[in-house]
Amino acid sequence: MNRHTPAPRQTAPRERRRGLFSLRALALYLLLVALVSVVSLSRYSTTIAGTTTVRVARPAISLTRGDITLNGTPIGNLDDLLQYLLPGDVITCQYTVSNQDAVGISEVKMRYKLIAPSIEPLVFSVDGAEWTELPHSMPQSNEHTVTITFPQESYIAAAGLVGQERILTITLLAEQVNN
């Protein structure tokens, strides 16, 4: 051998075992850590099987027509009356809006307004034309009046109503309100 190159060092069998032992110890340690982790994680992870039923809250609102008067005198039916109106006549109709229907009470908070038709030359006024709220789960009814006036000065326009059948439809516009 060359004088400058040292001879290769011989490893004693005992040193080889020690390197092998530390590799085995590391492998055993990693196996132990993995096993402990799996066991401890399995304690905290559970699976629940089952079914549930979800029900959507049901809205309910109703519009009921009440008493009708012509110039202060109660009348039973409005159906054929509009074609016989004279200038100066005033019809009033009572309506009830409720958060109940045939099935039950509304389960959601709602708001509504009444909308009257436009029939010339008649003038309609509705006291429920602004948004009004109804609560949920508690029965409530609100009374409203629709007034139909045939203006006194509408003599010329009266010919347009005579003999024509008119249908008076009051529309209830309702929507759910977020709580």
What integer pLDDT is reported at residue 21 of this predicted model?
62
User: What is the distance in angstroms between the CA of the first residue and the CA of the last residue of the chain?
Assistant: 95
Tokens standing for residue 114: 């009444």
Tokens standing for residue 61: 């609102």
What integer pLDDT is reported at residue 155 of this predicted model?
58
The predicted model scores a pTM of: 0.63
Looking at 2.40.50, 2.60.40, 3.30.230, 1.10.10, the CATH number of the domain 62-176 comes to: 2.60.40
Tens of pLDDT, residues 69-107 = 999 988 877 766 766 778 888 999 999 999 999 889 999
What integer pLDDT is reported at residue 45 of this predicted model?
59
Domain boundaries along the sequence of the chain: 12-45, 62-176
Check residues 50 and 106 and name the one with the higher pLDDT.
106
Tens of pLDDT, residues 54-68 = 888 889 999 999 998
- DSSP sequence for 91-139: EEEEEEEESB-SS-B-SS-EEEEEE----TT-EEEETT-S-EEE-SSS-
